[in-house]
A and B are shown apart, each in its own frame.
Chain A
Amino acid sequence: MGDSEHQRNVNLPPGFRFYPSDEELVVHFLQRKASLLPCHPDVIPDLDLFPYDPWDLHGKALGEGNQWYYFSRRTQNRVTHNGYWKAMGMEEPIVTSSNGKIVGVKKYFIFFMGESPSGMKTNWVMQEYRLSDSSSSSSSSSSSRSSKRKSKTDYCKWVICRVYERDDDDNDGGTELSCLDEVFLSLDDLDEISLPN
């Protein structure tokens, strides 16, 4: 399952996978990277800027299931060999589970084939995680209340990208109820329904 290339130093029993929460990505990986601390484990590779088409990430980025993770730099130019990433115009604050503090921001992009602005939309989606204290993000309304704090760290520099092709047939391995299960469940409220158990 997944690409083992970047997980070679993480040898876990079957069933263990890289499924980081947003918070973990920001706190355990992005913050440490930005602070020049080593990441444990050092599984997310640094692909620098954005040269790769999403389908070229295989073998280069950390792949798990249908998702790929890599470090990149913050940039306004997200052009790849065959297309470009276009912002979807939304950002999501990443908060810590312990105290609800905003530690990062997640931004969504869609991959377009061809040249901007006439590219063809694809199903490839990128979530770009950046640390929230970047001063350049003051225009983003959602995280403005945490933007006061100054830091010596070069927070602008690094981002983590999570790329996936949406519409994949796989659900997440059954940890959610299937759609039909949901229907069954809600219908279960009708006691009279007799089901073969």
Chain B
Amino acid sequence: MPENMSISVNVNGQSQVPPGFRFHPTEEELLQYYLRKKVSYEKIDLDVIRDVDLNKLEPWDIQERCKIGTTPQNDWYFFSHKDKKYPTGTRTNRATAAGFWKATGRDKVIYSNGKRIGMRKTLVFYKGRAPHGQKSDWIMHEYRLDDNTSDTNIVPNVMGDGAQEEGWVVCRIFKKKNHLKTLDCPLTSSIITGESGRRSHNMFDDDEGALEQILQQMGRSCKEENEVNYSNNNNGRFSLSSNFNNNNGGDHSSSINYNDRFLKLPSLESPKSTSLENNHNNIDTNNNVYHPMIPEMEGSFTTVHHMDGSNGGRLANWAALDRLVASQLNGQTESSRQLACFSTDPTSSSMMVYGTNDVVQDLQMPTLRSSSSSTSTSTHRAAFVSPHAQDYNSSEIDLWTFARSASSLLSSSSEPLCHVSNTSV
């Protein structure tokens, strides 16, 4: 390749990167080409990825140091050698003068041709010192090679990355977009402006980025929800998870079929607030509501509904959800629907609630009426449980566990349950 390279790339020097071209490697390229060469001390033809001492450089310094040419960049790449630990443990020390990098979420497995080649860790930069740091918009993806690429059955140990705490990693940093894509998402502005957003969806028929919007909203709702409920005690568990059919057909209409099989959550009496009333306007309660009978159980309820039938496919990736949302946003389908998927968990009820239409913005956790007179016991606390999931593509996505105590549930009400009253707890 080098000999017939007609355009050279000179990092931090004169840019020879032709207009329109960017360093935009796939995760596979990062791991298989760049990091693999790095760890084996092979020469990399062009020094596009520099070494960075993560403890010495702030994200905004990295941004300067890791420029490629002069074209505007949205992300920056560097190699980092993990060798420093916090004195108190085995975790990598990623503190800088101004702040620290903190891992978030769960490491994602990176595959190449179906073979596992490495892992990706997501970190967020916090300004200040733990535990009082202030979260910034700087995100880092840290990629490490899998030493055991031949063995696909390796189960990462519970201790996390203790074994991978040494050596070279390749990192990408970027700033989280708060209002998300503007480049290719014509909806962004209309979404942000609110009221007219829904109509815009139908008009423009372009749902790119919409899911992200929705999820951001969702995250916000959850957060609010949790904040509301946080101070309360809780006993039982109430976990959220989802099982989706993964329908690989790109056909929107096929995803519509999901809805018929999705459970509507049983509507449980919940105190109504005014905002709740408003939200209800968005919900078509006559829309094939399926009300499961919910057995009365001590401390939990178990409602089982397997979404995936014969094909056994579950949500293989978010694209399936994306399609689903897209079908909703396109608006030709009937009025609002909700998805509520239940999965089995012997100790808790698992569900995921998606209002896939405009209701999404109002996604909130259900309040289940507790037969005990004190409503303060019916509260939730969020914690991650995802015992099975190695990565986001695994069969189940357990988003939240909500602990609650519900000694009985009303099972015969006819209102779809997708709202919780913030006022009751």
Q: List A residues at the B interface (Cβ < 8 Å).
A: 1, 9-22, 24-25, 28-29, 40-41, 43, 88-90, 92, 97, 108, 110, 121, 123, 125, 127, 165-169, 172-197
Contact = CB atoms under 8 A, between A and B. Distances in A.
Contact of A10 (B6, B102, B322): B6
B219 A186 contact: yes
Interface string B159-181: 01100000000001010110001
Given A127-B184, A168-B319, A188-B135, 15 more contacts: A16-B9, A16-B21, A40-B18, A88-B205, A89-B204, A175-B24, A175-B174, A176-B174, A180-B397, A180-B399, A182-B219, A186-B220, A186-B223, A187-B382, A190-B230
Contacts of A9: 6
B216 to A, nearest CB: 6
B382 A10 contact: no
Contact of B139 (A168, A177, A194): A177
A99 B317 CA distance: 40
Contacts of A192: 230, 381, 383
Interface string B27-64: 10110011000000000011010000000000000000
| Interface residue SS majority, chain A | loop
Interface stretch (B207-215, B260-268, B272-280, B370-378): B207-215
Contacts, number: 200
Nearest to B71: A24
Interface string B60-80: 000000000000101100000
A14 B29 contact: yes
Contact of A11 (B7, B24, B161, B226): B7
Contacts of B226: 187, 190
B129 to A, nearest CB: 14
A187 B216 CA distance: 11
Contacts of A92: 186
B4 A189 contact: no
A183 B321 CA distance: 14
